[in-house]
Amino acid sequence: MSIPSPRLKSQISSFKLEDARSAFSKSNLRLQTSNLRPRKSVGLSLVELIVFIVIVGVAVAGVLGALNVSTRASADPVIQKQALAVAEAVLEEVQLMPFTYCDPDDPQAATAQSAAVGPTGCTAAASVENPGAEATPPYGPETRLGVTTPYDNVNDYNLFSMGPGITDISGAAITGLSAYTVVVGVAGQAFAAFGGGRAIPAADSLLVTVTVTGPGNTTATLHGYRVRYVPNALP
């Protein structure tokens, strides 16, 4: 077995060192080459940006349109509430009136037992209460604000209208209601017997309908009933 000479060992070591240097240079070159390759962009392209702006614009326009409709619809709650308050006030005014067989100015209004003309009824046909205000003296012509012959029965308010502008029972204009109108309807309303009770004929029961119209054609309608439970009750 031969032993390598020192010179041969030196040459072998030199070859190994060169191989290592060559391998390192190739690896370093490969790394530098990879760094030179173009990287994929992580931002937005112009097309993507434009599409994003369009989508957001359409969404915002839809939301604003919905808010606009909602605002127009919700701008009327105050008007709606005001119209309802006016309707309630007028309905109460009507229902508080007497519901007698005869006009309260008739001398027999407090004793009349029916709407017939005679000793137990009204003194004259002109004083018999029917839907609508009395027009014949001395019981009429009646108006809501009349001094000598004002409305004095529920029936008198049939076909009554007021406005534009609302006034109280004394004729004073109510501030802020100049654009409101009121229409009242009064009609007989019969009720069938229920629960063992008796039926109520249309002559003894009235349906009162009050319709108030405000700005923007905002309307409020209320219905109320007035029954002849105290036929001879006078104010």
What digits encode the pLDDT tens for the residues 31-49?
A: 455 555 555 556 668 888 8
Region 54-83: mean pLDDT is 81
Check: pTM over 0.85? Answer yes or no. Answer: no
Residue found by looking up tokens 């409709």 in the block: 69
Give me 133's structure tokens: 């205000």
Q: Tell me what the mean pLDDT of segment 63-71 comes to.
A: 77
Residue 169 buriedness (CB in 10 A; 0-12 / 13-18 / 19+): exposed
pLDDT per residue as tens digits for the range 99-133: 999 999 999 999 999 999 999 999 999 999 999 99
Query: 98 and 154 in contact (C-beta within 8 Å)?
Result: yes
- Give the tokens for residue 11: 């040459």
pLDDT above 60 (res 26):
no
C-alpha to C-alpha distance for 134 and 139, rounded to whole angstroms: 6
Distance from C-alpha of 183 to C-alpha of 208, rounded to nearest angstrom: 11
Q: What percent of the chain has pLDDT over 70?
A: 78
- Cα 128 → chain centroid: 42
For the chain, what percent of residues have pLDDT higher than 90? Answer: 50
Per the prediction, the chain carries an average pLDDT of: 83
The sign one gets for the Cα dihedral 46, 49, 50, 51 is positive
pLDDT of residue 8: 45
Out of 5-9, 60-64, 226-230, least confident range: 5-9
**Structure tokens of 235?**
């104010």
